[in-house]
């Protein structure tokens, strides 16, 4: 008479067989239900398994070993992921002609002609909120040109660059160099005030900056000082942070360019004045200006 197996064991066997089914070794077992009247199976005599004294145990099943180790399909080695693209520093690393460097100089250009061409400009959306265009001011033959970001509220009201609090600080900086405002030329990347003093947008910069380019070409200064990141990034055509190249001599269309902090930043961070003073002393050395003894930031 067929031996009845306990209920708990019966369940264990059923679970185990389900597991064997799932992992694809069900064929190594055969149904023994008819023999036992239980519908459960017992292990067949399969080499690795048959040697196991108690197949119905708490042990995890041992999978039969394949005769041959399956070969992994050989595939071409994966290509290394492309290195992230980093915008090169315009200088001292040679970076090829920038957007501006590719632009031809206009023969016999003058500041007057440029101002005439600009007219009551509506080329970008900043015209809608401005009061006055702030073209630029100073010596048309200046050896030193300061380029800022864009007009603020005071500049927008008066039509003159750097006349607010930051402008007063710039005037002090210029005078500390032994110069007057009338000796230098001061202008901005965009000539209309961005609302709420926000940064000018890329499209506004690209629309307005050709006029700045003509101004610089016409004045032909010995040194250009970029005040702040927007001016520096615009002229150098770089996305790098200003701290990476501040105070270094760079080149713009064959002229010496140095980027330093914007006076508005100095109003918020007075300790940075000493860094800017060091930068301005470098400019003074190139322009042959004497640093007076005891003069400090
Ligand atoms: Fe024209 Fe420049 Fe003013 Fe835009 S910011 S409206 S381009 S002058």
What are the pLDDT digits (tens) for 225-236? 999 999 999 999
Contact 138, 163 (CB under 8 A): no
Share the mean pLDDT of the chain.
78
Average of pLDDT values for 55-59? Answer: 32
135 vs 290, more confident: 135
Backbone angles phi, psi at 143, to 5 degrees: -85, -20
- Rounded to 10 deg, the angle between the 229-236 and 202-219 helix axes is 80
Contacts of 286 (CB under 8 A, 6+ apart): 222, 223, 256
Average of pLDDT values for 137-149? Answer: 98
Nearest alpha carbon to residue 167 among 267, 258, 242, 270? 267
Give me the pLDDT at residue 16, please: 63
Q: If you measure from the C-alpha of residue 203 to the centroid of ligand 1, how many angstroms do you get, rounded to a whole number? A: 10
- Where is average pLDDT lowest: 12-16, 121-125, 284-288, 290-294? 12-16
Contact 227, 261 (CB under 8 A): yes
Phi-psi region of 14 (alpha: psi -120 to 50; beta: other; left: phi over 0): alpha
Tens digits of residue pLDDT in 78-117: 443 443 343 444 444 334 445 555 567 788 999 999 999 9
246: pLDDT strictly greater than 50: yes
What's the farthest any 2 CA atoms get from each other in the chain? 120
For atom 7 of ligand 1, the residue with the nearest CA is: 208
Nearest alpha carbon to residue 188 among 180, 154, 177, 172? 154
User: Mutate which of 115, 128, 192, 203 to test ligand 1's pocket (most atoms within 8 Å of Cβ)?
Assistant: 192
Give me the pLDDT at residue 160, please: 98
Domain extents for the chain?
Answer: 7-50, 111-287
For atom 6 of ligand 1, the residue with the nearest CA is: 127
CA dist., res. 11 & res. 7, Å (int): 6
User: Mutate which of 126, 148, 199, 234 to test ligand 1's pocket (most atoms within 8 Å of Cβ)?
Assistant: 126
- Ligand 1, closest atom to CA 150? 5
Give me the pLDDT at residue 173, please: 98
Share of the chain above pLDDT 90, in %: 61
Give me the pLDDT at residue 200, please: 97
CA dist., res. 230 & res. 112, Å (int): 25
Q: Which residues line ligand 1 (CB under 6 A)?
A: 118, 121-124, 126-127, 133, 190-192, 204, 207-208
51: pLDDT strictly greater than 60: no
Q: If you measure from the C-alpha of residue 138 to the centroid of ligand 1, how many angstroms do you get, rounded to a whole number? A: 20
User: Mutate which of 131, 150, 190 to test ligand 1's pocket (most atoms within 8 Å of Cβ)?
Assistant: 190
- Ligand 1, closest atom to CA 190? 5
For atom 3 of ligand 1, the residue with the nearest CA is: 192
Give me the pLDDT at residue 291, please: 79
Give me the pLDDT at residue 256, please: 98
Question: Confidence band (pLDDT; 50, 70, 90) for 70?
Answer: very low
CA dist., res. 159 & res. 148, Å (int): 15
DSSP state of 122: -
CA dist., res. 47 & res. 52, Å (int): 9
Q: If you measure from the C-alpha of residue 192 to the centroid of ligand 1, how many angstroms do you get, rounded to a whole number? A: 6
Q: If you measure from the C-alpha of residue 195 to the centroid of ligand 1, how many angstroms do you get, rounded to a whole number? A: 13
CATH topology of domain 111-287: Uracil-DNA Glycosylase, subunit E (3.40.470)
Give me the pLDDT at residue 101, please: 54
CA dist., res. 7 & res. 26, Å (int): 22
Specify which residues 258 forms β-bridges with.
225
- Ligand 1, closest atom to CA 130? 3
CA dist., res. 25 & res. 47, Å (int): 13
CA-based angle 172:136:236, to the nearest 5? 85
């Amino acid at each position: 008479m067929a031996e009845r197996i306990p209920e708990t064991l019966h369940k264990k066997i059923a679970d185990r067989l389900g597991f064997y089914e799932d992992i694809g070794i069900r064929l190594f077992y055969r149904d023994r239900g008819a023999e036992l009247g239980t519908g459960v199976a017992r292990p067949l005599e399969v080499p690795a398994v048959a040697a196991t004294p108690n197949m119905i145990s708490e042990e995890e099943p041992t999978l039969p070993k394949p005769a041959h180790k399956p070969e992994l399909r050989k595939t071409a080695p994966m290509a290394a992921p492309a290195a992230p693209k980093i915008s090169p520093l315009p200088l001292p690393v040679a970076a090829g002609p920038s957007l501006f460097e590719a632009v031809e100089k206009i023969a016999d250009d003058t500041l007057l002609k440029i101002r005439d061409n600009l007219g009551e400009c509506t080329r970008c959306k900043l015209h809608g909120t401005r009061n006055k265009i702030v073209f630029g001011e100073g010596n048309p033959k200046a050896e030193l040109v300061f380029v800022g970001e864009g007009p603020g509220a005071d500049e927008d009201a008066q039509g003159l660059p750097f006349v607010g609090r930051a402008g007063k600080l710039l005037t002090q900086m210029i005078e500390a160099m032994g110069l007057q405002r009338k000796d230098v030329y001061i202008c901005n990347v965009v000539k209309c005030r961005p609302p709420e003093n926000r940064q000018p947008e890329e499209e506004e910069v690209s629309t307005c900056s050709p006029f700045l380019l003509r101004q610089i070409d016409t004045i032909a200064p010995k040194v250009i000082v970029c005040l702040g990141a927007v001016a520096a990034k615009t002229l150098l055509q770089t996305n790098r942070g200003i701290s990476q190249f501040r105070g270094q001599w760079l080149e713009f269309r064959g002229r010496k360019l140095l980027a330093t902090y914007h006076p508005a930043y100095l109003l918020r961070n007075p300790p940075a004045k000493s860094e800017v003073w060091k930068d301005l002393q470098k400019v003074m050395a190139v322009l042959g200006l004497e640093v007076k003894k005891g003069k400090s930031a």
